[in-house]
A and B are shown apart, each in its own frame.
Chain A
Amino acid sequence: MFYALHLLAASTAANPLVLGLTIFALAIFVGIEIITKIPPTLHTPLMSGSNAISGITLVGAVLASGEYPGFAKLLGFIAIILATINVVGGFLVTHRMLEKFKSR
């Protein structure tokens, strides 16, 4: 705790944690504002679509696999496979579903 306070006080430049938390809080609010407007009809596509977006970890996996040596690189490789399934499968299946939502 004291360490955290020390960190906050030590520098005049923007603290990356505080910056990250700011972005996090604002994005949560944006998310809530948008999602509450989504009609129940689209709740399943919303889940699978947002699920695909959560595969954004793919970016992290690519960074890890590219930057780290040895076993960490292998972990990055595994994460790339997992996240890519999530991303590609998620967007594709959402597209399949949404195409079925037809108007009269």
Chain B
Amino acid sequence: MSRAWVDLVYLIAAVLFILGLKGLTHPRTAVRGNLMGAVAMLLAVLVTLVDQQVLGAGVFGYFLIFLGMAIGTGIGVWLAITIRLESMPELVALFNGLGGAASFVVAGAYVWANDHSGPEAIGLEISFATAASGLIGAVTLTGSLVAFAKLAGHPLLKKMPLIPNSTVVNAIAGGVTLLLALLCAVSRSYDLWFWVLVLASLGLGYCLTISIGGADMPVVIALLNSYSGLAAAATGFVLENNVLIIAGSLVGASGLILTQIMCKAMNRSLTNVLFGTLGPTGDTKDADEVYQNVKATGPDEVAMLLDVARRVVIVPGYGMAVAQAQHAVRDLANFLMDKGIEVEYGIHPVAGRMPGHMNVLLAEADIPYELLKEMDEINTSMEQTDVCLVIGANDTVNPDARQANSAIAGMPIIDADKARTCVVIKRSLSPGFAGIPNPLFSADNALMLFADGKQAVLDILSALKEG
């Protein structure tokens, strides 16, 4: 098929990608949106198979192409079907890395086939795109693999060396790699240098992500998501292929927006998340001092409180995911709702380890999405709430964020302390990711239930059923 026809089909695919993403703006149309994206991909791949450039590949060429697709499909389907929904963050990170790898390998193939010196040398525009693809793609691969290992809690990670003076090392690694990319791009003669650049970028990806962890993970994942799109777009420039440029930049934009939303939800700049440190400031109060008036409670007392409540708000955090408490939480909420009590969930944007982590977990437990309220919405009704049940959340409900001299000053929080009674289910008084004590735990209207999240919720439910 001639280039013009192929490009027209690519245009249809691009439109379908955009409509598909648009479908994701509402849970009702989201399934259809995702299918549209898949159809767009199928169209783009099918028309590429009959592209003139590929038609000359011969029987062996087509055999290789179909073999590759069959292997990839097998592995992809196996991963997607066997994974438990709780492990979704690490799977997304893994897929992300593979996408980045595919981008720089394609750029590498282009270099190998077209690297000539003299007048036939790669044009300067394409040379820059090639360097960009190698750099971004490789950073995406190792960055995503580190993120994958961190999210999965892989034991190998503990053996990995931590980098001392990581800010300095990162700056040097970043500088050297950028310089290398620039030299490659300007010299237009790649030879083995492309792979040296890839190797350096692989190292850079590792350096940049190995020192980031915990609550900063959502930002890293969103950023890597953006990189994988940009790498695809860069490869699009290498091959002068519009559908790669369009789809890649859509994903790039998507990741950037998510990164921005995540940073805003922590009131931190992207540079601060990537290179800065978070920890107690000089003004941080001593934990013993803050926790003088902590009142511990038991499941029976919490059950009594819930029994007479009219409105209950559940605020989940990463601890709920760790304790796998989502199904128990659903049973408790259903029991309360059957008694006519109003139950809603307050979801902080950075709760969990990836954007929207809590929503997926709760959806997996068949909790209707209408009950999941965003932070701003739930905060308006917090004062009319009888019991706020905080499960495994810490920094996202820390009222210290309202103090100007706090380590998390200005971070928007869920106003759990404004409910009439706040019950915090947590295993201990240990600090969250920010490393500072939480005055909510010793507030006059707060009760601490020290237990594993899942067990505590089950105990409360059985106490309710008996009473």
Q: Which residues of A contact B (CB under 8 A)?
A: 3-4, 7, 16-17, 20, 23-24, 27-32, 34-73, 75-104
Closest to A90 in B: B95
Q: A37-B25, A85-B72, A104-B368 are in contact. List 9 more A-B contacts (CB 8 A).
A: A35-B21, A50-B225, A53-B37, A64-B239, A67-B54, A68-B112, A82-B72, A83-B72, A89-B91
Tell whether B289 is near chain A: CB-to-CB under 8 Å: no
Whether the pair B25, A34 counts as a contact (CB closer than 8 A) is yes
Measured in the bound complex, the distance between the Cα atoms of B355 and A81 in whole Å is 28
Query: Are A36 and B76 in contact, CB atoms less than 8 angstroms apart?
Result: no
Pair B349/A40 contact, Cβ less than 8 Å: yes
Asked whether, in the complex, the Cβ of B34 is within 8 Å of the Cβ of A95, the reply is yes
Q: CB within 8 A of B34: which of A37, A60, A94?
A: A94
Within 8 Å by CB of A16, from B26, B44, B99, B125, lies: B125
B64: A residues at CB distance < 8 A: 65, 73, 76-77, 80
Return the contact of A68 from the options B109, B356, B363 (Cβ within 8 A).
B109
Closest to B39 in A: A91
**B246, A76: Cβ atoms closer than 8 Å:** no
Contact B102 A83 (CB under 8 A): yes
Per the bound structure, the CA–CA distance linking A91 and B45 in Å amounts to 15
A63 adjacent to B54 (CB under 8 Å):
yes
Q: Tell me how many residues of B have a C-beta within 8 Å of chain A.
A: 118
Question: Which positions in B face A, CB cutoff 8 Å?
Answer: 14, 17-18, 20-22, 24-28, 30-31, 33-35, 37-38, 41, 44-45, 48-49, 51, 53-57, 61-62, 64-65, 67-69, 71-73, 75-77, 79-81, 83, 85, 88-89, 91-92, 95-96, 98-99, 101-103, 105-106, 108-110, 112-113, 123-125, 221-222, 225, 228-229, 231-233, 235-258, 261, 347, 349, 354-357, 359-360, 363-364, 366, 368-372, 374
Chain B CB within 10 A, most for which of A40, A44, A49, A68: A44
A73 to B83 CA separation, bound complex (whole angstroms): 32
B38→A91 contact, CB < 8 A: yes
With A66-B54, A67-B54 given, is the CB distance from A99 to B31 under 8 Å?
yes
Task: Please pick, from B17, B57, B256, B355, the residue contacting A40 in the complex, using a CB distance under 8 A.
Answer: B355
The one of A39, A45, A59 in contact with B44, judged by C-beta atoms closer than 8 angstroms, is A59
**Would you mind naming 28 contact pairs between A and B with Cβ atoms under 8 Å apart?**
A20-B242, A31-B250, A35-B258, A40-B355, A41-B372, A43-B359, A44-B356, A47-B254, A50-B251, A51-B225, A54-B225, A56-B41, A57-B232, A59-B244, A63-B48, A63-B51, A64-B110, A66-B51, A72-B109, A79-B106, A84-B69, A84-B71, A86-B98, A86-B102, A93-B83, A95-B31, A97-B88, A104-B368
Check A44–B92 contact: CB distance below 8 A: yes
Nearest B residue to A60, CB-CB:
B106
| Docked CA distance A19–B88 (Å) | 38
Q: Is the beta-carbon distance between A103 and B27 smaller than 8 angstroms?
A: yes
Set of chain A residues within 8 Å of B17, measured between Cβ atoms: 53
- Contact partners of A46 in chain B: CB under 8 A: 21, 24, 254, 258, 355-356
User: Is B257 in contact with A35, judged by CB distance below 8 angstroms?
Assistant: yes
Knowing A20-B237, A56-B247, A65-B65, the reply to whether A28 touches B72 (Cβ < 8 A) is: no
Tell which of A43, A84, A92, A95 touches B356, judged by Cβ atoms closer than 8 Å.
Answer: A43
Task: Give the complex CA separation of A104 and B368 in angstroms.
Answer: 5
CB-CB under 8 A from B256, the residues of chain A are 32
Alpha-carbon distance between A79 and B18 when the two chains are bound, in angstroms: 25
The contact of A92 among B20, B80, B258, by CB within 8 Å, is: B80
Q: Considering the chains assembled together, what is the distance between the CA atoms of A57 and B448 in angstroms?
A: 51
8 smallest A-B Cβ distances: which pairs?
A84-B72, A31-B253, A43-B356, A80-B68, A66-B54, A89-B76, A88-B76, A43-B355
Name which residue of chain A comes closest to B359, CB basis: A41
Which residues of chain B are within 8 angstroms of A92 by Cβ–Cβ distance?
Answer: 76-77, 80-81
Known: A7-B124, A56-B244, A83-B99. A101 touches B369 (CB 8 A): yes
Knowing A28-B253, A65-B57, the reply to whether A56 touches B243 (Cβ < 8 A) is yes
Out of A3, A49, A68, A88, which one reaches B72, CB within 8 Å?
Answer: A88
- Whole-angstrom distance between the alpha carbons of A47 and B363 in the complex? 16
Chain A residues positioned under 8 Å from B57 (CB to CB) = 65-67
Residue of A41, A53, A64, A82 touching B98 (CB-CB under 8 A) = A82
Please name all residues of chain A whose beta carbon is closer than 8 Å to the beta carbon of B246 when the two chains form the complex: 23, 27
Interface contact B124-A3, CB-CB below 8 Å: yes
